[in-house]
Amino acid sequence: MMINTNSFFFGLFPILFLIIFALVIGMFVVTAIRGVSQWHRNNHSPRLTVAARVVSKREEVHSHHHHQEAHLHTHCSTSYYATFEVESGDRLELAVSGEESGMLLEGDQGLLTFQGTRFLGFERQ
């Protein structure tokens, strides 16, 4: 008895395609739910202003490549983060704007205002 391998693989392809498609859609749904959930938690968190010190800053560069006909288009974006240390010694890393990142220096001390994981401002003292 001989198994026709072509029909076996072609019969398996639609099943594998559906599984991979479902996984990709599932990842998008989970990411969207996490984003909305974080936004909701931030909105229901109290706005706090605490004495803090800037202990570090970092940048994360993302590049996206798009092929369109015979052309390659590249788009880069940069995310900025600052780590603050409060009086208790706890550290908090928050996403900040590029402009705000440029104004912060490691060692700066002042009043940090934030809401959940949302950076609202830093007033240098």
pLDDT tens by residue, 16-65: 889 999 999 999 999 999 999 999 999 999 999 999 999 999 999 998 87
Cα dist from 77 to 37, 82, 84, 98, 108, whole Å: 24, 17, 23, 11, 26
Phi, psi of 26 (to 5 degrees): -60, -40
Please classify residue 119 by burial: count the beta carbons closer than 10 Å to its beta carbon, then call 0-12 exposed, 13-18 middle and 19+ buried: buried
- Quick one: DSSP state of residue 46? P
125 vs 8, residue with greater confidence: 125
**Rounded CA gap, 79 and 64, in Å?**
14
Q: Which of 19, 11, 94 is nearest to 56 (CA)?
A: 94
pLDDT value of position 2: 54
Decide: 32 and 68 in contact? Cβ < 8 Å: no
What was the pLDDT predicted at 4? 58
pLDDT at position 122 is 97
